[in-house]
Amino acid sequence: MFELTMKADSDSFRNNLYDLLQEVAASIIEDNRKEHELPYMISKAQLAKYIFNVSSQTLDTHIINRQDFPKFKVGERILFPRDMALEWIRKNIEVVESIK
């Protein structure tokens, strides 16, 4: 069982809340910075490793072959627009209620 007691007028509470908000803001800024360090057009290996955090094979099986996933062909090479891939993820994400 978990119990939480909070006192709104406590200096300790304000300091802890401030520290927590600072950590959250720093984490958001760091994630945003990492996102934009990648080149605008990324390879399948970069997409798998840095965006989806899966193997290239998993990416092939579940993502890349979808008609609606953004890709760009340059000669024989297929590249992926970083920002469009991130936007596709945001539009197609499903929240999982439980993991079985």
pTM, 2 dp: 0.62
The dihedral region occupied by 2, where left means phi > 0, alpha psi between -120 and 50, and beta the remainder, is beta
As a CATH number, domain 12-92 is 1.10.10
Q: What confidence score (pLDDT) does residue 18 get?
A: 83
pLDDT in tens, 47-67: 999 899 999 999 999 999 999
DSSP 30-70: HHHHHHHHS-SEE-HHHIIIIII-S-HHHHIIIIITSTTS-
Please give the Cα distance from 19 to 13 (Å, whole number): 10
Tokens of 55: 């193997």
Please give the Cα distance from 10 to 43 (Å, whole number): 51
Q: What confidence score (pLDDT) does residue 6 get?
A: 55
Show me where the domains of the chain are located.
12-92
Under-50 pLDDT residues of the chain: none
